[in-house]
Amino acid sequence: MNLILVGPPGAGKGTQSRLLEEKFGLKQLSTGDMLRAAKTSGSEMGKRVAQVMERGDLVTDEIVIGLISERIESEPISTGFIFDGFPRTLAQADALSEVLNKKNRNLDFVIEMQVDDEALVQRITGRFNCKECGEVYHKDTKPLEKENCCNSCDATNCFEQRSDDNESSFRTRLTNYYKDTSPLIGYYYAKGLLVSVDGLLDIEATQKNITRILCL
């Protein structure tokens, strides 16, 4: 089973990807994680990534697709993937489809996490993460159990907030999402792959709704 999670920043794609990875034995493919890993891998593709990032340039679709192709090739055909943060554009969607076809794999589901913009602003501006293990928290919906102590790894005084998790920056990110990525909704709807869930429910309820879809 291969699926894409699509939705605006802060919709909960990363959280749900990790839960699905555990529940169904799928492999999460996060482009951000792959780029960071490639940069230090020493491979030919990794060297290209490092050069681009050191120049401060945007990583091209060609490089990202190359990394995804390499990762898919490294796993047995029985392994399913969750694509988190990719594709972001129609061109990337076409490229991903081509890669999957070459690897004799199908895309089974595209799950759209629907959220209200104003609720997203509140969600994003209140979140922070542990620098040690990456666990994400929210001051209202997922607070720390102990003051200044990570619930997951017990590290202390190790929290940070993304520099662009402020209202002004986030609204800019939302605008860019609707401009570049939202056309994917129609693209995958036309292919009969799109299923929508309410991304404003709590994590467990959203997970149950996604699981119900995948088990149909």
Active site residue 171: no
Assign 3-class secondary structure to 36-63: HHHHCCCCHHHHHHHHHHHHCCCCCHHH
Catalytic residue among 18, 71, 103, 173: 173
For 147-194, the DSSP string reads: TTB-TTT--BS-EE--TT-SHHHHHHHHHHHHHHTTHHHHHHHHTT-E
Helix 44-55 and helix 31-39, axial crossing angle in degrees, nearest 10: 100
Q: What angle do CA 111, 114, 119 make, to 5 degrees?
A: 145
Among the listed residues 18, 71, 142, 162, the single catalytic one is 162
- Our answer to whether residue 127 is catalytic in this structure is yes
SS3 category, 93 = helix
Look up 162 and say whether it is catalytic: yes
**Which is catalytic among the residues 13, 39, 48, 123?**
13
Cα separation, 54 vs 114, whole angstroms: 35
Which is catalytic among the residues 27, 88, 103, 171?
88
Q: How many residues does the chain have?
A: 216
Half-sphere exposure of residue 205: CA atoms within 13 angstroms, side-chain side:
6
Instruction: Specify whether 208 is catalytic.
Output: no
Among 39, 48, 123, 127, the one annotated catalytic: 127
Answer yes or no: 88 catalytic: yes
Q: What is the three-class DSSP state of 32? A: helix
Residues labelled as active-site residues: 13, 88, 127, 162, 173
